Amino acid sequence: RPRVLSGIQPTADSFHLGNYLGAVRNWVTMQETHDAFFCVVDLHALTVGPDPAQLRARTRASAAQLFAAGLDPERCTLFVQSHVPEHAQLAWVLNCLTGFGEAGRMTQFKDKSLKQGADRTTVGLFTYPVLQAADILLYQADAVPVGEDQRQHLELTRDLAQRFNTTYGRTFTVPAPHIVRDTAKIADLQDPGAKMSKSASTPNGLIELLEPTNRIVKKIKSAVTDTGREIVYDPENKAGVSNLLTIYAALTGRTIDDLTAAYDGKGYGDLKKDLAEVVVAFVEPIQQRTRMYLDDPAQLDKLLAIGGEKARSVSSRTLARAYERVGLVAAA
């Protein structure tokens, strides 16, 4: 079976629909076809300086949501990044192969450091993508299911794998991004030109999996649409409506053509009303199952401990090989 690895940051109380449709949904399908590893990347979350108690709570809530969304501990390995020390260890080796300018060209770094301000930007934020490369390469992943915004980080990962392999001999699988075009960039409901994001300017632009359903309904009803009244799929000129259609299609399995035909002659209000129902019906069971996992933190921690063990059995072998290749003396 081909190997897959992906990660998600515990930087919010809830994942949003962009995280789910761009990434997590594909994780759930790929656990059937791949040897699958998924991690809650708490070390990455440290780059935004979270409150310790909040980080701890969000890490568990993230794992609970992933199980609730359909990751099955029998079918995949879900773990917490910091439980597997090899991630930070391999990241150091890769840091020593990454150009300073190369890291400086990462657009997510440039955007985030601009937002944080030069004085508050840490070295951790700078090397964030190198830690991400370590996450992936440790598991010899063939494929990495992510949204469009991760493409550049995956390009860096591939470059680092190739560089290591040419310098020290074949050690790492060079991973391919797995980006499903239709849902790779879910847009902000209030600003359809931008991606849905936890750091959006207004909370009304994003739909959180765990938020009260009446709020979800309100947000969908007040989503920015476009002038005109026709329901057509035209991402260039009608980004708002097209985004709603994308979400609708993804959650129901219906095609965009089928939807536009069904809404021919109807208005935006009809579309929004029905989509709100679809989204609520989708999140309700996830909310329920998330609560169930969070109600039993001991059991949740146990599942994560098992995942961490399984992950380490792979990552420790890869790290030992990489350490050996670069010339580190193995402890006797």
Q: Which amino acids are annotated catalytic? A: 112, 195, 198
Query: Does 195 interact with ligand TYM (rule: CB under 6 A)?
Result: yes
**How many residues sit close enough to ligand TYM to count as binding (CB under 6 A)?**
26
Q: Which CB sits closer to ligand TYM, 181 or 329?
A: 181
Strand partners, 79: 39
Helical residues (DSSP H) of 117-150, grouped into ranges: 123-137
Q: Which of 208, 289, 46 is nearest to 54 (CA)?
A: 46
Of these, 14, 127, 132, 315, which contacts ligand TYM (CB under 6 A)? 132
Query: Does 41 interact with ligand TYM (rule: CB under 6 A)?
Result: yes
> Is position 14 annotated in a ligand binding site?
no
Query: Does 192 interact with ligand TYM (rule: CB under 6 A)?
Result: no
Query: Does 177 interact with ligand TYM (rule: CB under 6 A)?
Result: no
Query: Does 184 interact with ligand TYM (rule: CB under 6 A)?
Result: yes
> Is position 135 annotated in a ligand binding site?
yes
The pair of three-digit structure tokens given for residue 183, joined into one six-digit string: 């849902």
Of these, 13, 142, 149, 226, which contacts ligand TYM (CB under 6 A)? 149
Ranges within 208-227 binding ligand TYM (CB under 6 A): none
Min dist CB 181 to ligand TYM, Å, is: 11
Please state the φ and ψ torsions of residue 43, each to the nearest 5 degrees.
-65, -35
Query: Cα torsion at 110, 112, 113, 117 (round to 10°)?
Result: 140
Q: How many whole angstroms separate alpha carbon 98 and alpha carbon 279?
A: 42
Q: How many whole angstroms separate alpha carbon 258 and alpha carbon 17?
A: 22
Interface region with ligand TYM, contact rule CB under 6 A, candidates 48-56, 129-137, 235-243, 264-272:
129-137
Q: Which residue's CB atom is positioned nearest to ligand TYM?
A: 22
Q: How many whole angstroms separate alpha carbon 184 and alpha carbon 149?
A: 8
Sheet architecture: strand order including 76-80 = 76-80, 35-40, 3-8, 143-145, 176-178
Looking up tokens 């309904």 gives 217
Min dist CB 48 to ligand TYM, Å, is: 10
Q: How many whole angstroms separate alpha carbon 158 and alpha carbon 249?
A: 32
What does the binding site for ligand TYM look like in residue numbers (CB under 6 A)?
5-9, 18-19, 22-23, 41, 44, 132, 135-136, 144, 146-147, 149-150, 153, 184-186, 195-197
Binding residues: 9-11, 18-19, 135, 147-149, 186, 195-199
